[in-house]
Structure 1
């Protein structure tokens, strides 16, 4: 099965990617090279879904591409536009909520992919726990990244311990939202509705091309 032509919604993701590049360019022109580098890395991360589509035989829904781009754009503008300070602490929590929901959905689709390819067998509760733990793990790695950057560059990405704990709580909420969604889908037995997102890698010629037309006994006489 090949991936269908991308819907028009994918152009929303392309637009957000363009805005991230614009933020990177404006930061570099303003002499904010660290912000420009961060925005450039964020843009490169938005390419991950496209690479997964090509290399893993996936047809990720365009909403996933959009959520990845939006998550990173919110983060980039939080620094470039100083929204993390202007709208503190709500903007930061919004960024964590969108990012955690995005991570949770990606984990859910990876779990469905593993089951479809019979690489692993997960029950509904196991998938929900997998989503929660993966989301929290991603949030923890992010907090470690912020701590490391603050120590090396003297920035102030982490305000205090309370702020960090609330970030992790919001990450847990985002993961819980996706876990509940996944539990509902599995309980209803509707996971087959996602089969269209899993494209099989090309495996050469079709059986009809290999075998050819059935032999007509009349022609062999």
Structure 2
């Protein structure tokens, strides 16, 4: 069991958005839109993923990341339940791509931090930034493949031509750059090790010396 610090009051924003998703589930079922209700229910379960995944890991996701995950899924749910993808096209879709891609990028960042903390892999700042960019764009590509497949198999109308798809990729890239920028600024600070331990279990007995320093730091110490 993890022993994370008491969450900020901002965590209640996540709970509020999760409640809105549950309302979307209820309204869809009451309207006879059972598939939308089912899909919205899956989205709600996905908002719980960070808590479930990190429960047995020595990692504490920042509440801001949990909030972005919930917000991304809520925007997608309401795009269908509230038909915002149609009434606010194409701007609503691009907004969801921007927020979702930034969220994926931040998740990739914290996965890299987790790998470093556990000693599974060693990544320098450049490698982490590349990992964020590649992971985010790969997730965007998988999403576009899903939309293409759904249109071909089920006759949906998720994609609206090459321009729409390319603009989705552009928004994904912008979101990835934002996340990479956050990572670059954070990793440039001298308190790198303290930042790594911030998301680790505070009950861990590891000392800063147990976390291997940067190669550059090793070179300076010789």
* In structure 1, distance between residues paired with 2:95 and 2:102: 11
1:132–1:175 contact (8 Å) kept in structure 2: yes
Of structures 1 and 2, the larger Rg is shown by 1
Offset from partner CA, 1:143-199 (integer Å, 9 cap, x none): 112122222322111111211111011101100111122112222233322422211
Q: What is the aligned length?
A: 203
1:199 aligned onto 2:201: yes
Aligned to 2:177: 176
Aligned to 1:22: 23
1:23–1:80 contact (8 Å) kept in structure 2: yes
Cα distance change of structure 1 residues 201 and 45 upon mapping to structure 2, 3 Å threshold: farther
Point out where structure 1 has 5 or more consecutive residues left out of the alignment: 204-221
Offset from partner CA, 1:107-157 (integer Å, 9 cap, x none): 111111111111111111111100000001111111112122222322111
- SS of the residue corresponding to residue 198 of structure 1 reads coil
Aligned to 1:210: none
- SS of the residue corresponding to residue 119 of structure 1 reads coil
* In structure 2, distance between residues paired with 1:160 and 1:36: 28
Query: Bigger CA drift: 65-74 or 186-195?
Result: 186-195
Cα distance change of structure 1 residues 158 and 201 upon mapping to structure 2, 3 Å threshold: farther
TM-score (norm 2): 0.86
TM-score (norm 1): 0.86
Point out where structure 2 has 5 or more consecutive residues left out of the alignment: 206-222
Aligned to 1:152: 153
* In structure 2, distance between residues paired with 1:201 and 1:45: 27
Offset from partner CA, 1:13-57 (integer Å, 9 cap, x none): 011111111101111111112211211111111111111220222
C-alpha RMSD over aligned residues = 1.7
Aligned to 2:86: 85
* In structure 1, distance between residues paired with 2:148 and 2:57: 33
- SS of the residue corresponding to residue 56 of structure 1 reads coil
1:52–1:58 contact (8 Å) kept in structure 2: no
